[in-house]
Structure 1
Amino acid sequence: MPVAAFPLGPLETNSYILHNESQAVAVDVGGQPEGMIAWLAEHRLPLAAICLTHLHFDHLYGVAALAAATKQPVHAPAGDGALAETESARGGIWGFPLVDPFESLPLPDGRGSFGGMDCEILETPGHTPGGVSLYFPEQKLVFTGDTLFYRSIGRTDFPGGDHATLLRSIHEKLFTLPTETKVFPGHGPATTIGDERVNNPFCGDYAQ
């Protein structure tokens, strides 16, 4: 599987590097990225982009440092723009540290390409107003941020969260992906769409 995972930061947020034979893409950067930078150097892979699934602080702590080290752009979901200047994105809430500021570009609508890899940007709000999941069909994998986890789903009690919207995102956007699609969530172990569609107690067949 062409994915390297790095649990980083105070909440051990899964920070990922997706790679092909020539380039790499980072997805969410939840803490200081020295390990990610070292991994890229070891495998002689240039970073082409940094992509964010949503703008919660625990997914952002290392974004500025990785962008500065690699001189590569950050792409963030435009629908989460309202969170950018709040504690949800900037940190400082509940005693957590502040996030170093960074510049970002909006993720493309619908489809994009990062590091030579085609990506479908799936709108999956509910955990945040504009959260997305990043589906790479050729690699048969999806980064779901905090929308869908192994046997769980994202919280909806933060500003802009909505439980019904989250469930709709999962059923209409994620559970319609191919069964074998590998799911890389923002926290916890990887899973598959087929497994969660059947066994997730919050939204799968098991819940019915």
Structure 2
Amino acid sequence: MTIKTFNLGPLQTNCYVLSGEKEAVVIDPGGNPAEVVEYLKANNLTVTHILNTHLHFDHTAGNRELSEITGAPILCSEKDADLLDTWLGRGGENGLPLLDSYEWQNIEPGKTQFAGFDCTIFHTPGHSTGSLTFYFPEAGAAFVGDLIFYRSIGRTDFPGGDLDVLKRSVTEHIFTLPPATKLLSGHGPETTVSDEQSHNSFFSEF
């Protein structure tokens, strides 16, 4: 299993490609996906799914183009669908481009497989109502979107955000993962469960 990171879009969102020998999933293509497409072609990878941790525009800006190029469906939580009628989901304000609409499919929390790898999907609201975490035990990695960052947490002042809910999502679903689990966030460097338990000031009880 290989995990490749790309920084896409005006907010330098971390887009991840998780792949095996032939298949891959792309997580949060937040800008022009040209680099991602080049990487996929160079490694002869077929994208089976495009996964969105949440539907803020800086995580979805490349959805439509990447889906059209690869034919892969876009999966996300329907609990974030209301965002698509706002600037948070569509952009278009503060000099940001307005995104074209795209087709998407709802996915529910639970156990599944992507690109042949086991995955557990957690509903982890707090940054947005429908935020999801994708945990791949074989990789020892959880893709957490903007739920938690290195020594910080995601914003909770946007519609659908709630600090208490976010902290509960982290303590119930993230801090119960194996301590060495890598946390791959939407922005900034990777971290681990144990590091955030020990050093994240928002969770001083740990």
TM-score by length of 2: 0.96
Query: What residue in structure 1 maps to residue 40 of structure 2?
Result: 40
Q: Which amino acid aligns with 2:153?
A: I
- Structure 2 match to 1:134: 134
Q: Which amino acid aligns with 2:46?
A: P
Q: Specify the SS of the correspondent of 2:4.
A: strand
- Runs of 4+ with >2 A deviation: none
Matched, 1:55 2:70: no
Q: Unaligned stretches of 5+ in structure 1?
A: none
What is the Cα deviation at residue 138 of structure 1? 1.7
User: Which stretch shows the higher mean deviation, 153-162 or 108-117?
Assistant: 108-117
Residues 125 and 166, structure 1, Cα contact 8 Å, conserved in 2: yes
The Cα shift of 1:204 comes to 4.6
- Residue 127 of structure 1 contacts residue 155 of structure 1 at CA under 8 Å; is this kept in 2? yes
User: What CA distance in whole angstroms lies between the structure 2 residues aligned with 1:21 and 1:139?
Assistant: 14
1:183 aligns with 2:157: no
Deviation at 1:107, TM superposition (A): 1.4
Deviations 1:27-53 (A, max 9, x none): 001100000000011111111110000
Distance 1:37 1:82, change over 3 A: same
Q: Distance in 2 between matches of 1:180 and 1:66?
A: 32
> Structure 2 matches for 1:109-124, cutoff 5 A?
109-124=109-124
Q: Is 2:10 aligned against 1:19?
A: no
Q: Is the 8 Å Cα contact of residues 128 and 161 (structure 1) preserved in structure 2?
A: yes
Give the RMSD, CA atoms, in angstroms.
1.3
Q: How far apart are the structure 1 equivalents of 2:8 and 2:81?
A: 24
SS at match of 1:93: coil
2:78 and 2:110 map into 1 onto residues whose CA distance is: 12
Does 1:9 pair with 2:5? no
The 5 Å alignment of 1:40-189 reads 40-189=40-189
Distance apart, 1:56 and its partner CA: 0.3
How far residue 73 of structure 1 moved from its aligned partner, in angstroms, is: 0.5
Partner Cα distance (1:147, 1:204) in 2 = 17
Contact 1:28 1:59 (C-alpha < 8 Å) held by counterparts: yes
Aligned length, in residue pairs: 206
Output the amino acid matched with 2:41: A
State the identity %.
46
CA distance, structure 1, for counterparts of residue 203 and residue 51 of structure 2: 26
Amino acid at match of 1:105: Q
* Counterpart for residue 30 of structure 2: 30
